[in-house]
Amino acid sequence: MSFFVRYLKNIGIFPLLLQYFAPLRRSQKGQPIEDIFKQIFCWLFDGTSRHISYFDQLAKDEGYAGAIEQPVEDMASSHIIKRFFKSISILRVWLFRKVLHRLFLWRLKIKKPQVVFLDIDTMVMDNDDANVREGVGPTYKKKKGFQPLQVTWIRFIIDAVFRGGIRHSNYEDTVVKTITHLVNLIRKHYREDVIIVLHCDSGFFDQKNLEAFEKLGIFYICGARITEAVREFIKAQAEHSFGQVKKKKQVWRLLEFGFKYGSWKKFRRFIFSQPLYENRQMLLDFARAETLLVTNIRPDTVFPEMPEDLQELLNPNNVIIRYHARGANELIHRSFKDFGFEQMPFKRFVPNAALYYTMLVSFFLFETFKEDVLAPVISIESYATTIRRKFLDIAAKVVSHSHQITLKFTSSTFQILRLKELWNDCHTAPSLTVCKL
């Protein structure tokens, strides 16, 4: 835990949080905001309990206080944490999105990608056992809960809109506003000419969305719904018009065509595909799942000077492979749930929203900590449970001697985890100062 705390201090996350949340401390007698955030981040990183009442137990643990570099008398109780979340207004809740944007720009400027691949989807937070929770409602998974809209990039959740369960994927104009803001942010603070490709499933298939994406000048690969008109068009095509794409042991049958869908005003590029096998067993025609994709990645929109990652998507085979790879993006949601929790503790919507966004910020920092510090000894693809088992659940002793506090490990643990090297990495991690807006 000491490594994580030292990492947070050295990257400068607390000054960033104070820019937005310093007014929450209304009296000098109250705990500093940065100390509260630090203890919440450590509580989430530890993952021992999802209950806020667990803070009362931690407040009495001198060893834990020493590990997170916090005086015992300044440890927060569960009442302090509850008052903190309840003191955050709905207007200040949205400031967490600004923090996520700053963190996103920080990693974007470090990685410097030529093509930014984004994915947008909803995530159901199962609160079916909650008798009284403001905002909890029925979701498409037949569970009551919340259904936030989340935008992901690589392994990071870079933006989110916390919503009630009845809010479907394409509710109102939230999608267009969210993507528009992110695109403008990327072009203003990263690179004006960067290529942006958005992945989304059929829940976002709407002409208004596609027109908005095209107006923004970004590329998209979107799942589409198969209507009778589309089905009749596909059936009318000769068999030699279909191609095949292979990936490992799976084979898809595909057809690329231009089509004016429904009441649309123009033709767009569509790609139809069906898997031919399931577990090496060839499927009969009626048992083959059907997927229809629409994209604006075409020869007239992609030019030779554009990056190779985009050029490859002119081939319909690569479009299908990339869309099916969205499953990896959905694993980010699973990883987030493994790191935090789904069941929200408060009865009111706003405190739950504040806790949700705090989890998002903490999860982002957890992912960067894996990348900047733990990568030499633990795979960055590992879930939080694995990190906790291999890195947190190890024997150590906090010793006070000659007015110094020392954290001692066994020699085998010290060598296997290369703790000296990791400790140095905590102090040399890239600073958040590169993401000034």
Same domain, 181 and 320: yes
Amino acid code (one letter) for 106: W
| Highest mean pLDDT of the ranges 113-122, 123-132, 229-238, 425-434 | 113-122
Q: How many CB atoms lie within 10 A of CB 393?
A: 9
Q: Which residue has the higher pLDDT, 364 or 234?
A: 364
Position 280 scores a pLDDT of: 65
Mean pLDDT of 19-47: 90
Position 57 scores a pLDDT of: 94
Number of domains in the chain: 2
Q: Is 179 exposed, middle or buried (0-12, 13-18, 19+ CB in 10 A)?
A: buried
Q: Per-residue pLDDT tens for 179-189?
A: 999 999 999 99
Classify residue 166: in a domain, yes or no: yes
Three-state SS string over 59-89 comes to CCCHHHHHHCCCCHHHCCCHHHHHHHHHCCC
Same domain, 109 and 253: yes
Classify residue 343: in a domain, yes or no: no
> What percent of the chain is modeled with pLDDT above 70?
96
Position 191 scores a pLDDT of: 92
Domain with 356 in it: 2-91+348-435
Classify residue 169: in a domain, yes or no: yes
Q: 167 pLDDT exceeds 80? A: yes
Same domain, 120 and 83: no
- C-alpha distances (whole Å) from 170 to each of 148, 200, 347 are 12, 11, 26
Same domain, 156 and 56: no
Mean pLDDT of 158-175: 91
Q: Which residues contact 328 (CB under 8 A, 6 or more apart)?
A: none
Position 141 scores a pLDDT of: 85
Q: Which of 76-80, 244-248, 275-279 is least confident?
A: 275-279
Same domain, 78 and 109: no
- Among residues 286, 310, 333, the one where a domain terminates is 333
Q: Which of 141-145, 232-236, 268-272, 326-330 is least confident?
A: 326-330
Mean pLDDT of 349-360: 96
Q: Which of 54-63, 83-92, 320-329, 364-373 is least confident?
A: 320-329
> Across all residues in the chain, what is the average pLDDT?
89
Q: Which residue has the higher pLDDT, 133 or 97?
A: 97
Distance CA(386)–CA(300), nearest Å, equals: 47
Same domain, 75 and 139: no
DSSP assignment of 206-246 equals -HHHHHHHHHHT-EEEEEE---HHHHHHHHTS-GGG-EEEE
State the helix-helix crossing angle for 349-369 and 2-11, rounded to 10 degrees: 90
Classify residue 342: in a domain, yes or no: no
Classify residue 339: in a domain, yes or no: no
- Among residues 266, 298, 333, the one where a domain terminates is 333
Mean pLDDT of 391-420: 83
Q: Which of 89-103, 157-171, 238-252, 353-367 is least confident?
A: 238-252
- Bridge partners, residue 220, by sequence: 198
Distance CA(101)–CA(62), nearest Å, equals: 36
Q: 149 pLDDT exceeds 70? A: yes
Same domain, 161 and 65: no
Q: Which residues of 44-71 are buried (b: 16+ CB within 10 A; e: fewer)?
A: bbbbeeeebeebeebbeeeebbbbbebe
* Sign of the alpha-carbon torsion through 170, 222, 156, 47: positive
Position 1 scores a pLDDT of: 87
Q: 427 pLDDT exceeds 80? A: yes
Distance CA(8)–CA(427), nearest Å, equals: 10
Classify residue 359: in a domain, yes or no: yes
Same domain, 377 and 325: no
Mean pLDDT of 414-433: 90
Same domain, 354 and 233: no
Same domain, 138 and 263: yes
Q: 377 pLDDT exceeds 80? A: yes
Same domain, 233 and 149: yes
412 confidence band (pLDDT: 50, 70, 90):
confident
pTM of the model: 0.91
Position 410 scores a pLDDT of: 85
Same domain, 108 and 11: no
Position 242 scores a pLDDT of: 86
* Structure tokens, 295: 């994209």
Position 436 scores a pLDDT of: 57
Distance CA(165)–CA(145), nearest Å, equals: 5
Which CATH number characterizes residue 275's domain? 3.90.350.10
DSSP assignment of 108-165 equals HHHH--SEEEEEEEE--EE-TT-SS-TT-EE-TTSSEEE--EEEEETTEEEEEE--BT
Classify residue 379: in a domain, yes or no: yes
Position 376 scores a pLDDT of: 92
Classify residue 341: in a domain, yes or no: no
- Among residues 333, 366, 385, the one where a domain terminates is 333
Mean pLDDT of 159-181: 92
